[in-house]
Structure 1
């Protein structure tokens, strides 16, 4: 029964909810955790016979694993989606997750690189190698457009409109958005395409992928992380840097320069403006300058 429910849930997330593969895999992992817990600690109950108290015991077990509050909140979100699916399919009289509470989340400010630190990072790239030319084009694109790593590694050649300075990005839930791309990124993409990409023979299914690895396939998320980590070490940067750092830096630099928050939200592909607003809290001098400029009774 569990396996049938999980397979149905998987199809529901992909087809009806149009969720990204990463989110689908995460939610399936969460439900599988619940299934295993039910087998071991809840007398092998089926999903539709678990009650609120059973689920509370499961969340207590998850908490004892010392997972982060963010991960625990994601697990709860996965369970709620799973039970919403069961209710939709008529397998439940009532949803037992309605009274479950999520752990309180501490919203940490993201790590951001300054312009000088970005220059230091890019300066470590070896432009004499095919990988170096690819990496420069790749990281310039990531920073110029504020891309998620999943959006970067799936970026299609057919989605480049470099003559008019735009790229079409496929984001979470297969939602598309048009994002402006800067001159530096355009220049390095053209160098990479002319001197490296044009001479490669992509594996089947990768013909339209822009950035390829040595095996002529799309790059992995881990590979992008390792490239950045290696460059950061060479540059002597002490900050913890990962692919999302370039995305955070993109948004922060725009907001600090006075960009409209709604425009930044659209370029980032954020569903809610609340997500974008975190970037207004990163630069205290920006906040002070805003007060000095607009508050009628602010005395510096």
Structure 2
């Protein structure tokens, strides 16, 4: 069994057995391809621990600890798959330590900074209303960029106050939408979206470019980057910054962490708990309010 055949089977396994998203699968695939490029003349079935250590050592000289940790995690998954398929009996990465990278706190904007971004959108531009609706929707519902660009007209249940979102692992969740965001979305669809002529496969997609195709992730990043430049905002921002800000502001205003977990579509509460570290003042207020000895 050669490398490329195994990698192809592995990606099918990630799709069918684990139900991962396309972006996650591509990330895992890139990690394995790094190993393939290093050991092209060897079989992954026969690679031993010392050889993998050599690869990791070489990798550490080229990438930062966070990227190194991600690659190690991806390769560990690949070798677990080989064991699962009875190609190997051991995982050569089991005893290899992942670099300690510390806690990476997500960036978050203040409400004033978000309002500033939105205020600087040029609504006279043909895509101005679309871009404003996009930013309000990501921030107002805490969407991932992949969830935003794939959102469909048939996913809208605005009379009931919800939108249906296809998240990681192709799992749907219903997210409440605030009336102000809902009204903005309806206005965009009725007055601007109808002016576009979508290609056949994107007829149900809400946000389109001038050629009638769904937007790319890169396009959303560009829109936000340009706005940050216009407003002279020094923070590095992207779609995930708006999502983090949504969660952070909910927490600061007293929302329960379990509710935030459901809204964000986090499988584990541990992922959501990172937001607790953003605001020590909030933690102090919770202790003072609920401590049994107050």
2: CA distance, partners of 1:293 / 1:18: 42
Determine the structure 2 residue equivalent to 1:112. Answer: 108
2: CA distance, partners of 1:71 / 1:155: 30
Is 1:51 the counterpart of 2:48? The answer is: yes
- Report the Cα offset of residue 153 of structure 1: 0.7
Determine the structure 2 residue equivalent to 1:204. Answer: 200
2: CA distance, partners of 1:7 / 1:175: 23
Instruction: Provide the TM-score with structure 2 as the length reference.
Output: 0.96
Listed as ranges, the matches of 1:4-153 within 5 Å are 4-39=5-40, 44-65=41-62, 67-153=63-149
Determine the structure 1 residue equivalent to 2:166. Answer: 170
Please state whether the residue corresponding to 2:200 is helix, strand or coil. Answer: coil
Instruction: Provide the TM-score with structure 1 as the length reference.
Output: 0.94
Partners of 1:69 and 1:103 within 8 A in 2: yes
2: CA distance, partners of 1:74 / 1:156: 32
- Report the Cα offset of residue 296 of structure 1: 4.7
1: CA distance, partners of 2:82 / 2:144: 32
2: CA distance, partners of 1:166 / 1:128: 29
Partners of 2:197 and 2:211 within 8 A in 1: no
2: CA distance, partners of 1:240 / 1:89: 43
Partners of 1:256 and 1:280 within 8 A in 2: no
Listed as ranges, the matches of 1:179-194 within 5 Å are 179-194=175-190
Which has the higher mean CA deviation after the structures are superposed, 127-136 or 283-292? 283-292
Please state whether the residue corresponding to 1:130 is helix, strand or coil. Answer: coil
1: CA distance, partners of 2:57 / 2:135: 41
Shift in alpha-carbon separation, 1:77–1:297, aligned structure 2, 3 A: same
Q: Deviations over 1:174-222 (max 9, x none)?
A: 1111111112211111111011111211112111111011111111111
Please state whether the residue corresponding to 1:219 is helix, strand or coil. Answer: coil
- Report the Cα offset of residue 297 of structure 1: 4.9
2: CA distance, partners of 1:156 / 1:95: 42
Is 1:238 the counterpart of 2:234? The answer is: yes
2: CA distance, partners of 1:221 / 1:116: 25
Determine the structure 2 residue equivalent to 1:259. Answer: 255
Determine the structure 2 residue equivalent to 1:2. Answer: 3
Which has the higher mean CA deviation after the structures are superposed, 50-59 or 89-98? 89-98
2: CA distance, partners of 1:128 / 1:289: 44
- Report the Cα offset of residue 163 of structure 1: 0.9
2: CA distance, partners of 1:105 / 1:228: 28
Partners of 2:140 and 2:178 within 8 A in 1: yes
Structure 1 unaligned spans of 5+: none
- Report the Cα offset of residue 105 of structure 1: 2.1
Partners of 1:165 and 1:180 within 8 A in 2: yes
- Report the Cα offset of residue 93 of structure 1: 2.5
